[in-house]
Amino acid sequence: MNFQEGVANLAYPPTLIQAERVLQVRNLRKVYPNPGGSRLEDLVVLEDISFDVREGEFVTIIGPSGSGKSTLLNIIAGLEGYEGGDVVVSGHRVTGSGPDIVMIFQEDALFPWLNVEDNVAFGLKQKHVPKEERETMVSQYVDMVGLTKFRKSYTHQLSGGMKQRVAIARGLAMNPRVLLMDEPFGALDVRTRETLQRQIQDIHERTGKTILFVTHDVREAVSLGDRVIMFSHGPARIKEQYIVDVKRPRNVDDPALSGTIDAILKDLRDEDRFARSEDDVDS
């Protein structure tokens, strides 16, 4: 089931309609000034983006390359400013980074001089969590991502998939209201990627975390998300939203997902054709 542009806030999985709104994005506008000066137009990246995310929802974002998906996550995380609209997390307007939001990037961003458990504990130490409580939390999340046997290992001793699991455990240990994931599996091989897709579904089921997940892979977006938000070409707007009402665990080859996958692929092809026609007019 898809929802047309302009009714973004009506698009929720039926089981989550009564859940609390954790994240609210309203009429968001992001502009990068052109460094060439006033003779050239500024670059409008995001235009009138509005959607909500409910407590415990897993939302994926898909769209053409360069459509502002990562920029959106950076804004929600408080890493970038914006020129119009509002971003509200847990009832508070986002004006900078804060404890309610944790971002996980495509690159693991671990500290190479720390082992697995110390990487996971890093944020907890910064928050002055008592040692005994910290050790319990670290053990819980290292075990949750399946790395108990590697808790004393350093990053150079880990595979790419294992490093991402450490990054996920570190993020979960901070107990954020919203976990932002910016193409976290994009640099991994297919087999490792499928393993982590299954694992993040299990983690979501066990923790009930609210997750906003950016990907360029349509099958990944549909197999993971309760809802898929599709961006248009820049300036990005919400073109469509899709509810994925299929029981988990899922995988990218699940036949029950094929209809939604095909619909999104068609919409992306239509969007590409529209963008090419606009370029032809401009030229």
| DSSP single-letter state for residue 8 | G
User: Listing from the earlier edge strand, what are the strands of the sheet with 84-89?
Assistant: 43-54, 21-32, 84-89, 92-93
The answer to whether residue 80 scores a pLDDT higher than 50 is: yes
The answer to whether residue 121 scores a pLDDT higher than 60 is: yes
Q: Verify that 202 and 123 share a domain, yes or no.
A: no
Interatomic CA distance for residues 171 and 168, integer angstroms: 5
Write down which residue in 150, 175, 200 finishes a domain: 175
Q: Verify that 64 and 128 share a domain, yes or no.
A: no
Q: Verify that 272 and 215 share a domain, yes or no.
A: yes
138 in Cβ contact with 114 (< 8 Å): no
Q: Verify that 143 and 187 share a domain, yes or no.
A: no
For 265-279, how does the pLDDT look when each residue is reduced to its tens digit (9 = 90+)?
998 888 777 556 555
- For residue 20, the model assigns a pLDDT of 85
Interatomic CA distance for residues 184 and 164, integer angstroms: 7
Q: Verify that 89 and 215 share a domain, yes or no.
A: yes
Q: Verify that 82 and 29 share a domain, yes or no.
A: yes
Dihedral sign for Cα 2, 5, 7, 9, please: positive
Highest mean predicted confidence (pLDDT) among 45-49, 94-98, 233-237, 274-278: 45-49
Q: Verify that 166 and 204 share a domain, yes or no.
A: no
Residue 129 to residues 10, 97, 132, Cα–Cα distance (Å):
40, 19, 8
Considering its fold, how many domains does the chain have in total?
2
Interatomic CA distance for residues 156 and 137, integer angstroms: 24
Q: Which domain holds residue 21?
A: 2-100+178-282
Write down which residue in 135, 158, 175 finishes a domain: 175
For position 81, which CATH number holds? 3.40.50.300
Tokens describing residue 71: 């920029």
- For residue 17, the model assigns a pLDDT of 66
Q: Verify that 185 and 123 share a domain, yes or no.
A: no
The answer to whether residue 282 scores a pLDDT higher than 50 is: no
Helix, strand or coil, per DSSP, at residue 227: strand
Closest by CA position to 271, among listed 234, 227, 216, 221:
234
For 14-51, how does the pLDDT look when each residue is reduced to its tens digit (9 = 90+)?
666 667 889 999 999 999 887 666 656 788 899 999 99
For 142-162, how does the pLDDT look when each residue is reduced to its tens digit (9 = 90+)?
999 999 999 999 999 999 999
Give percent above pLDDT 70 in the chain: 87
Write down which residue in 125, 160, 175 finishes a domain: 175
Q: Verify that 211 and 146 share a domain, yes or no.
A: no
Q: Verify that 96 and 217 share a domain, yes or no.
A: yes
Q: Verify that 191 and 261 share a domain, yes or no.
A: yes
Q: Verify that 16 and 142 share a domain, yes or no.
A: no
